[in-house]
Structure 1
Amino acid sequence: MFIYKIDDELSLKLIELNDAAKVFELTNQSRGYLREWLPWLDSTTMIEDTKNFISGCLKGYSENKSLTTVILYDGEIVGTAGFNQLNWSNKTGQIGYWLSEDFQGKGIMTRVAKALTDYAFKELKLNKVEIRAAAENNKSRGIAERLGFMNEGCIRQAEWLYDHFVDHIVYGMLANEWNQQE
């Protein structure tokens, strides 16, 4: 099983089917908050939906195409994070994440994104890590910017979000840039 300790408070653990109840509960508790930027909330209405999501995550992990973890804060699941895509031919990974509303403002996601970026370059030997965020999602964009990711541009109308399109800002970090700033 994949477990990655970040610090005394935080660690990442490969998502498992037995995490479904807690992940679904967190989704329900933060539904209104998360819905602003995540397109899958309306199609996640039962625990079975979360189990199907987790099954897909485990399939992606077994095929070495993705890595989805639960974020453990003081041993409690507070969200998910990982690599939505791993492209081995281009040595790239795309980080995705969400955090329960109750745990916002503690620096959790910045530490998680930093740890994932570190893991990507040191353990997976990737050359580039991307973080994509909706243009108006200042909290998510702030994570990439705090970590020194470069704004590489805008993908116009990149995602359908319930009743409208949103542009995505693509942030990138190269292995040599990460190593220089470490």
Structure 2
Amino acid sequence: MRDIDYSNYFWQDEAIRLRAIKPEDWENHYINRFDTPARRLLECAVELPPTITEAKSFAESFSDFSANRLMFTIENLNGENVGGINLNSIDERNGTFSIGIQIDRDHRGNGYGTRAVNILLKYAFFERRLNKFNDSVLEGNEASVAMMKKVGCVQEGVRRQVFYTNGRYFNTILFGLTKDEYVEHLSKIN
């Protein structure tokens, strides 16, 4: 295959690139399932032990963007898989959506998550004509709270004691961002 010129490619910025999941990405999905603290923050529960069969099925089922959840692999510009992100809960009628993300343990703290979320926000707002990003963060997930604020989200509320894990009930912090708020946020940081 010829070399690809990414210089004008929508799905990347100065540090990361989003690409379709490939069936061979199953191994990263499998390994990430062993990071119980991170998975608990993402899924609000302790998952059953991972299996290679499930990991392969996951990668295969999301490799062609045919599902309602648009799954991407996040790579740094060296081509190293650093995590995954998805656009989900898309409601075309009301213009709402959500985003799920996990950055691999060895790559956290480099801004990859914030960069990936910004790419998906631009896609959702400026290409899909969606109008409102809604998301929630499990109480105690300070990294995700910081990221939500960094991309311009507004804390809209708290749902009290809605998830039970690790022997207690946890709140979720509700965040939202409209297209107009995002445009204003971009004008302030650019």
- Does TM, normalized by the shorter one, top 0.5? yes
Match of 1:23 among 19, 23, 29: 29
What is the CA-CA distance between 1:100 and the residue it aligns to?
A: 1.0
- Counterpart check, 1:51 vs 2:46: no
Offset of residue 33 of structure 1? 4.2
The TM-score, its normalising length taken from structure 2, stands at 0.81
In structure 2, the residue matched to 1:6 is 12
Task: Give the helix-richer structure, 1 or 2.
Answer: 1
1:162-182: per-residue Cα shift (whole Å, max 9, x none)? 543321111111011112232
| In 2, Cα distance between equivalents of 1:82 and 1:175 | 18
- Unaligned 5+ segments in structure 2 are 1-8
- Mapped to 2, the partners of 1:112 and 1:7 lie a distance apart of 9
The residue type paired with residue 172 of structure 1 is: G
Give the SS at the match of 2:129.
coil
TM-score (norm 1): 0.84
If you compute each CA radius of gyration, which structure gives the higher value, 1 or 2? 2
> Which residue number in structure 2 is paired with residue 168 of structure 1?
172
- The letter of the residue matching 2:27 is A
Report if aligned partners of 1:43, 1:49 keep a CA contact under 8 Å in 2. no
2:130 alignment partner, SS class: coil
SS of corresponding position for 2:41:
coil
Alignment of 1:1-182 (within 5 A): 5-28=11-34, 31-39=35-43, 42-55=47-60, 57=62, 61-63=65-67, 65-73=68-76, 74-161=78-165, 163-182=167-186
Distance 2:63 2:94 in 1: 22
- Match of 1:71, SS? strand
Q: Distance between the aligned counterparts of 1:166 and 1:152, measured in 2?
A: 17
Residue segments in structure 1 that go unaligned for 5+ positions in a row: none
Please give the per-residue CA displacement for 1:19-42, whole angstroms capped at 9, x wherever unaligned: 1123223444xx144244133663
List per-residue Cα deviations over 1:131-150 (Å, max 9, x = no partner). Answer: 32112111001001111111
Runs of 4+ in 1 over 6 A off after TM superposition: none
Aligned residue pairs total 176
Aligned-partner SS, 2:31: helix
